[in-house]
Structure 1
Amino acid sequence: MINFKNLTFQNIKQKLQVKKPWDDVIIFVLNVLISVPLFIIAHENLIELNWVFNLDRILLFIFIIIATQLILRLLRTIIIICIVLYLLVLFYGTIFGNYGFESIYEDYDSMIYTMSDNPHPQDIIISKLLPFPNKSKILSAIEYKNPRVRNFAVMAVNKHFKNTRGYSDYRTIIQCFAVFKEINSRWNYVSDPKDGDYIATASESLEYLSGDCDDHSILMAACVRAIGGTPRLIHTKGHIYPEILIGNMNDLETANFLIKNKLFVKESYGKQLHYHIDERNQIWLNLDYTATYPGGPFMSEEILGALTLN
């Protein structure tokens, strides 16, 4: 009876084993597929040490690869079962909208791209800034609840980037970038009268999509706010421009990937993202009318004030 059991176990073991060298190949492929999502989860939840050349994240990835490899080798005899279970989990995630095949591809692509092209801050905005000029007039002009402004923003959202892969995961930021594209691709700079500032409301600027820097900033802020984004205006010695809240460094990596690899590939090719970090370590991306992509170059002027729309 014992021999029969041993024989049966040996037969099952032999049937489940993959012959060399295919077992090593399968283990390697499985290792990559499993390690990438594990690294993404660890990367997003562990504190960054900010070592040069992302060495902390490189070592983390190597550790996960080695640990996964050892575990898979221990399970070599049931590797076929491991493959089936892994594919079933991914299939379930794909069907029910959780983590699936498409998510693995997106995360792997984003991870590789981010580690080879990590943006760096331009400078840091401290909290002690001067009062914002014409604050009450500008706030009144940012008519984000005006139906014309809202409808224009919705039009831009439906015109640009709707079919981007991963749209549902990064909906708000992609839609705000769609608004940026629509406004900046059509904006015509027109100076104010010589005898003083003319502050146009957002709905007024929609008539011809023309005006100076403060008119552009007001319209951009209103449209971004109208679809759920968080904008702010930056005042310099001779200029006002809008920015959008991106979030933390992980969010910036996502924005960097979307801009350079999905949404503004030609415009941002070989260029850096330009952004500020505020006193709470929140990241704000440049949306100036002079930029052809979100995070385009700043105009080199001293920052005097910031006006945030919460």
Structure 2
Amino acid sequence: MIKLGNLNYQTLKERLRIKSPWDSIIIFLLSILFTIPVFIIAHQKLIDLEWPIHLDRILLFILITTAFHLILKAMRRITLISIIIYVLTLLYGTIFGGYGFVSVFDDYRSMIYAMTEDPNPQDLIVSKLLPFPNKYKIIKAVEYDNPRIRSYALRATTKNFRKVKGYNEYFTLIQCFAVFKEINSNWNYVSDPKGRDYIATASETLPYLSGDCDDHSIFMAACIKSIGGIPRLIHTKGHIYPEIYIGDKKSDLEAVNYLIKKELFSRESKGQSLHYHIDERGKIWLNLDYTADYPGGPFMNEEILGALTLD
């Protein structure tokens, strides 16, 4: 018989055994805890079948929970050890910057919210687009390395959303949304001279925060790029507007959707959907038009003719 100090194997098993009905309760709760991170991963990787009320995801959650429940029930004598391993794994991730308690909570919260408040995808951007009008003039006008442009962007980040905690992975995006809020809250639309397409540089637009759609797009792109964001401009038949790259994973979209609708722009986006494009490489781009009250506001629903990425 195996002995551990003054304890033999049988005695150790008895000491680790949890008596009924607590063993059933703990096994059920532990099954739920194990299910959450696995379900998050499965939800992000599997194709959304778009069943009513997300019935496919509900069945998936039940299936994973049942599987863990059966496994833990078969291993009921080492349930206490399972609990300790689970908690230590998440504790290690929390301390050393891996997948920990906060990550599980944030991912699960964002995922559940996205399942009840679906973002609204638009048409897929195809690779064969028309040449972007005034491309080189616009690139030159996006003066992201101009000290005055960067100073404006920095002031916007100190004025908006400084008290938002957590979301370290989306820290730069939050600051870009602060820039969006500052610009769109103060933008004054002014038309170009009649019969002429006047393109103002970002520094020219700065003193008055005024201009037409291409002036707004250039200025927004310059400010966002100056603080580490990745903007792009979209050209339609009669309009130009900016977008921002938010990621290429479903979890990025869910997290940003939650951030905008629950943390940053809850009043402006109440009852609204998040509008975005997915390009041919799977990258997700969020609308930042001057007509939008929040990042991801409604598009003007015009056919896309060209895209100019400023990375």
Q: TM over 0.5: same fold? A: yes
1:298 is aligned to 299
2:135 is aligned to 135
Please tell me whether the aligned partners of residues 244 and 287 of structure 1 are also in contact (alpha carbons under 8 angstroms): yes
Alignment deviations for residues 208-237 of structure 1 (CA, whole Å, 9 cap, x no partner): 222211111001111122222221111222
> Cα gap change, 1:165/1:23 in structure 2, threshold over 3 Å: closer, same or farther?
farther
> Cα gap change, 1:49/1:21 in structure 2, threshold over 3 Å: closer, same or farther?
same
Distance (Å, rounded) in 2 between the aligned partners of 1:151 and 1:60: 49
Mapping of residues 1-310 of structure 1, within 5 Å: 8-44=8-44, 46-48=45-47, 50-53=49-52, 54=54, 56-250=56-250, 251-310=252-311
Which segment drifts farther, 23-32 or 288-297? Answer: 23-32
Alignment deviations for residues 18-55 of structure 1 (CA, whole Å, 9 cap, x no partner): 222222222222222221112223334x3525453455
Q: Partner of 1:293: helix, strand, or coil? A: coil
Please tell me whether the aligned partners of residues 33 and 104 of structure 1 are also in contact (alpha carbons under 8 angstroms): no
Distance (Å, rounded) in 1 between the aligned partners of 2:289 and 2:34: 41
What is the number of residues matched between the two proteins? Answer: 306
Please tell me whether the aligned partners of residues 111 and 255 of structure 2 are also in contact (alpha carbons under 8 angstroms): no
Letter of the aligned partner of 1:25 in structure 2?
I
Distance (Å, rounded) in 2 between the aligned partners of 1:249 and 1:272: 18
> Cα gap change, 1:178/1:87 in structure 2, threshold over 3 Å: closer, same or farther?
same
Distance (Å, rounded) in 2 between the aligned partners of 1:69 and 1:181: 47
Distance (Å, rounded) in 1 between the aligned partners of 2:135 and 2:33: 52
Shift of 1:275: 1.6
Please tell me whether the aligned partners of residues 146 and 203 of structure 1 are also in contact (alpha carbons under 8 angstroms): yes
Unaligned 5+ runs, structure 2:
none
Q: Partner of 2:268: helix, strand, or coil? A: helix
Shift of 1:56: 5.0
Distance (Å, rounded) in 2 between the aligned partners of 1:26 and 1:232: 51
Letter of the aligned partner of 1:91 in structure 2?
L
Please tell me whether the aligned partners of residues 120 and 273 of structure 1 are also in contact (alpha carbons under 8 angstroms): yes
> Cα gap change, 1:249/1:167 in structure 2, threshold over 3 Å: closer, same or farther?
closer
Alignment deviations for residues 181-220 of structure 1 (CA, whole Å, 9 cap, x no partner): 1211221222223352322211222212222111110011
Shift of 1:261: 2.3
- TM-score between the two structures when normalised by the length of structure 1: 0.88
Distance (Å, rounded) in 1 between the aligned partners of 2:249 and 2:56: 15
Unaligned 5+ runs, structure 1:
none
Alignment deviations for residues 112-142 of structure 1 (CA, whole Å, 9 cap, x no partner): 1122223232222323333222222211110
List, as ranges, runs of 4+ consecutive aligned residues in structure 1 with deviation greater than 6 Å.
none
Distance (Å, rounded) in 2 between the aligned partners of 1:231 and 1:207: 22
